[in-house]
Amino acid sequence: MTRSEMACSESRFELMKRALPGFDFSEQHETFIRAATPGPVLDLVSKVDPTADPFIRRTMLLRELPGRIAGRFANSNIPRGRPILELADFLNLGRLSDREVAFGLAGHFWQLDYGLIQVPSMDAFSAWHENGAAKVVIGFAANPLGNGVRLVTRTEVSCLDSKALREFGAYWLLIRLVSGFLRKRWLGLIKASAEHPLSNSLGRPIIASASSRPTKV
């Protein structure tokens, strides 16, 4: 599928189309949640802490370990003791009623320290361009289905030039399977929190603290 064909794909979310006119890499996963309406389910996307899942947390720590080690001996954007990458590091790209929510990140994700670049707003994110860099958008869409809610998460990555395409392409080959598995686990946490809000067998809070939650825009 070509980039232009992908950009016109009906499976794209509205917020994602606003943030990324086109993309080079994508993945999509979904789950069914026993819930009365989509709104409370979509609320949980920002509230649930994915790192409450031990597998997700250990995988992220393993991904960042080389950068943390390197940071002890050379300049690094991952200072010692820095929390692992989480949703609070993403720019909140907005919410469409009780249908969609999306988050964006810009940088050089294949670097040890992710090479993150701060972008202040949705408009700035959509227009932002830097040679050798990439942008990623993670979106969630919730829709009524039967006696519950269908929750879909979609990730799209746009590489801003051929160098970034080569660099991220190699990185994507390494992380794609694990990345997909992590997103399925994330959906599982949201599902568990929606269906069994008082149950937690993970040994640490599933709901992130208010200070770490991205604000709505």
DSSP state of 54: H
Residue 148: Cβ within 10 Å count: 19
Q: What is the pLDDT of residue 88?
A: 87
Identity of residue 78:
I
**Partners of residue 26 on adjacent β-strands:** 156
Domain ranges of the chain: 3-194+205-210
pLDDT exceeds cutoff 70 at 202 = no
Given the candidates 3.30.2000, 2.60.120, 3.30.530, 3.30.420, the CATH classification of the domain at 3-194+205-210 is 3.30.530
Cβ-based neighbours of 170, under 8 Å, separated by 6 or more:
110
pLDDT exceeds cutoff 70 at 50 = yes
Measured in degrees and rounded to the nearest 5, phi and psi for residue 132 equal: 85, 5
pLDDT (tens digit per residue) in 127-154: 999 999 999 999 999 999 999 999 999 9
Q: What is the pLDDT of residue 67?
A: 60
